[in-house]
Amino acid sequence: MAFYKGLSEKNKDKRSSFIGILQGLSEKSKVHGNDFKNR
């Protein structure tokens, strides 16, 4: 049971870091979009 819990914790970390990367990408594309519009 503890082993399974450890696995799910690891997956949560992976998922949250993945979501963080996705959010970072969308932020970047938003900034690029604004630059593009301003030009």
With respect to residue 37, please indicate whether it lies within any of the assigned structural domains.
no
pLDDT in tens, the chain (39 residues): 577 777 778 878 888 888 888 888 888 777 766 666 666
The CA distances from residue 6 to 2, 3, 35, in Å, are 6, 5, 44
28/35 Cα distance (integer angstroms): 11
Q: Is residue 34 part of a domain?
A: no
Pull the structure tokens for residue 26: 């969308």
Q: Tell me whether residue 1 is in a domain.
A: yes
Please state the domain count of the chain.
1
Residue 38 CA to its chain's centroid (Å):
27
Quote the pLDDT of residue 38. 65
- Asked if residue 36 is part of any domain, the answer here is no
Rounded Cα gap, residues 35 and 9, in angstroms: 39
Name the residue range of residue 13's domain: 1-28
